[in-house]
Structure 1
Amino acid sequence: MALSDKPSRQSLIPSFLYSSPSSTRTLPLMKMLQSSPTLDSVSSSSPKSFVIPSPTEPSKKIEMYSPAFYTACTFGGILSCGLTHMTVTPLDLVKCNMQIDPAKYKSISSGFGILLKEQGVRGFFRGWVPTLLGYSAQGACKFGFYEFFKKYYSDIAGPEYAAKYKTLIYLAGSASAEVIADIALCPFEAVKVRVQTQPGFARGLADGLPKFVRSEGTLGLYKGIVPLWGRQIPYTMMKFASFETIVEMLYKYAIPTPKDQCSKSLQLGVSFAGGYVAGVFCAIVSHPADNLVSFLNNAKGATVGDAVKKLGLWGLFTRGLPLRIVMIGTLTGAQWGIYDAFKVFVGLPTTGGPAPAAAPAPAAAELAKA
């Protein structure tokens, strides 16, 4: 049964976070079966006749905030993050090498040229397996737990404060989700960076992971967890909060039609556009920590102080930034597009939307009734 048929189970999360699902359409065949006097007379007069009863709900939807809802969001996160990060592996490879060896990889174009000359076309996808598996695990936790924590914090705040402080709920929910997601990502990220920046270290995850553990120990896989949190938590907070805000503004100022009346293709276009703009902000905010992660996972025994001394403050904020803006903008836009496309595919509404009208104060409401 759809959520709207259960008033007692209405969530406290603000209604503007999702558009209302479209009404269930009764199939014409079902109408014919239910209203046909011939079938009714046959079924009542002949006990031997066999008529298949029509279902009460021809198209059952996933109930919002049910286990099936969170499962769908988790799987959507796997698709959105794993596939997109694997696709931009060549960009990530050049970016990591520019961060580690700027004397050799001086620019984006020269970086691609050097990799093509030294490693061939296959070299552009070195490290794609740990990238795919690591970011699939991260995406599952990032999107699944974001939906969970967003509702959880909204329920704690109550409907009035959840609507008033919605941006704080986006920030808190995304930060909480990313703490968990990075624990899943960190070992894969450590191996990926080593494989991509040290030619000859390993061919991929299968031989790179045991070699890394023999060299650094099991805890070495989490040597970069603090810089990873420093990179990913601000990134994800910006990614989700700015996306929700941008989408709300697009529906409010740029699109004259209410969201629930827009076509699904238009809604997915808004998701991609909002995600791309959010990705640009994400890249700028998280770039210094990204440089630290690359440096620490490449240099054995190095510390954050060593990285700052080696790169310098200016280099920490700017080295590889233009390429990362292009990469993260495209990546984030594609992630939101894929995530919301999967939600639409399983019958869920797209993420984000217009804010609700402010609820009247209790005293004013009583006065209006009088």
Structure 2
Amino acid sequence: MNSLWEASKLSPFSTPFKKAECESASLVPGRSIAAAASSEVVFGSSKYYGLCAFGGLLSCGITHTLVVPLDLVKCRIQVNPEKYRSIVRGFKVTVAEEGAKALVKGWAPTFVGYSVQGICKFGFYEVFKSLYSDLLGEENAYMWRTSLYLAASASAEFFADIAYCPMEAIKVRIQTQPDFPSTLRKGAPLIYSQEGLSGFYKGLVPLWLRQIPYTMMKFACFERTVEALYKYAFSLPFLFFDDFSFFFLSELA
């Protein structure tokens, strides 16, 4: 946990509450930050971006897969609100007609799709954040950091949704169309044979309209929350942070 603390303190984006010093070390890749007790990860290196992408896989793929039953009922309410009038009734009708096993329909495209989306979202966010920071320069990047976070997250989500959209198309059809195959390996070839590649991207624009604003707010709020924690919590010398306290505040951010 101490190594994570040291790594967070050395991140060029984590503690911006100080006067910009253009003559000091730049924010461009090349800084070594401690990632574990026995190794180092160079900020901006391929390993650094790879770890960020892997974190996105874990945080998106696993969490969305765990709530597949709720997602299934939500989609069915949207498609057939007369039959599935509420969440509780949606669960009851689904189990009564198809059995409890039906509640996990669409888990495979959900896991694959959101894992890929998480990889692109978190990985590209760090890439675009560094890229835009280099384009602006250190002082401007600090002054306009919130806009930088918004631009980087929007750019990342744009590409993440392109990667995710095919799995979303398959998932929704599995969950809402009774005559559609119930597995990913059968559903994907069917869409391609009937509609071609465009069949996987019919919902891309609505997906962008939903996901890009959400991701912009998520990353910008996260970054500013981290800044607030460093300004009002971590910087107080009389506070003692044990491992549990640090974990709690990290999760809050």
User: Once the 2 structures are TM-superposed, how far is the Cα of residue 217 of structure 1 from its aligned partner?
Assistant: 2.1
Question: Do 1:86 and 1:132's aligned partners in 2 also have CA atoms closer than 8 Å?
Answer: yes
The partner residue of 1:12 within 13, 27, 42 is: 27
The 1:11–1:149 alpha-carbon spacing in structure 2 relative to 1, beyond 3 Å, is farther
Question: Do 1:11 and 1:155's aligned partners in 2 also have CA atoms closer than 8 Å?
Answer: no
Structure 2 residue 129 is matched with structure 1 residue 150: yes
Structure 2 residue 87 is matched with structure 1 residue 108: yes
Question: Do 1:150 and 1:173's aligned partners in 2 also have CA atoms closer than 8 Å?
Answer: yes
Q: Which runs of 5+ in 1 are unaligned?
A: 14-19, 26-58, 275-370
- 2:200 aligns to what? 221
User: Once the 2 structures are TM-superposed, how far is the Cα of residue 65 of structure 1 from its aligned partner?
Assistant: 1.2
Equivalenced residue count is 229
- 1:80 aligns to what? 59
Name the SS of the counterpart of 1:61 in structure 2: strand
- 1:249 aligns to what? 228
User: Once the 2 structures are TM-superposed, how far is the Cα of residue 208 of structure 1 from its aligned partner?
Assistant: 0.8
- Distance in structure 2 (CA, Å) of the matches to 1:225 and 1:172: 20
The 1:170–1:270 alpha-carbon spacing in structure 2 relative to 1, beyond 3 Å, is same
The partner residue of 1:239 within 215, 218, 222 is: 218
- 1:307 aligns to what? none
- Distance in structure 1 (CA, Å) of the matches to 2:170 and 2:228: 40
Question: Do 2:129 and 2:149's aligned partners in 1 also have CA atoms closer than 8 Å?
Answer: yes
User: Once the 2 structures are TM-superposed, how far is the Cα of residue 21 of structure 1 from its aligned partner?
Assistant: 4.7
Query: Within 5 A, what are the aligned runs for 1:179-328?
Result: 179-253=158-232, 257=236, 262-274=241-253
What percent identity do the matched residue pairs reach?
Answer: 51
- Distance in structure 2 (CA, Å) of the matches to 1:130 and 1:272: 28
Q: Compute the TM-score of the two structures, normalised by the length of structure 1.
A: 0.57
- Distance in structure 2 (CA, Å) of the matches to 1:107 and 1:255: 44
- 1:164 aligns to what? 143
Structure 2 residue 71 is matched with structure 1 residue 92: yes
Question: Do 2:157 and 2:212's aligned partners in 1 also have CA atoms closer than 8 Å?
Answer: yes
The 1:123–1:164 alpha-carbon spacing in structure 2 relative to 1, beyond 3 Å, is same
User: Once the 2 structures are TM-superposed, how far is the Cα of residue 167 of structure 1 from its aligned partner?
Assistant: 0.6
The structure 1 segments of at least 4 consecutive aligned residues displaced by more than 3 Å after TM superposition are 8-11, 250-258, 261-268
- Distance in structure 1 (CA, Å) of the matches to 2:68 and 2:217: 23
User: Once the 2 structures are TM-superposed, how far is the Cα of residue 76 of structure 1 from its aligned partner?
Assistant: 1.3
The 1:119–1:76 alpha-carbon spacing in structure 2 relative to 1, beyond 3 Å, is same
The 1:96–1:155 alpha-carbon spacing in structure 2 relative to 1, beyond 3 Å, is same
Question: Do 1:81 and 1:135's aligned partners in 2 also have CA atoms closer than 8 Å?
Answer: yes
The 1:10–1:253 alpha-carbon spacing in structure 2 relative to 1, beyond 3 Å, is closer
Q: Which runs of 5+ in 2 are unaligned?
A: 1-5, 11-22
- 1:354 aligns to what? none
Aligned letter for 2:155? S
User: Once the 2 structures are TM-superposed, how far is the Cα of residue 231 of structure 1 from its aligned partner?
Assistant: 1.0
Please list the CA deviations of residues 221-253 of structure 1 after superposition, one character each: whole Å capped at 9, or x if unmatched.
111111111111111111111122233334434
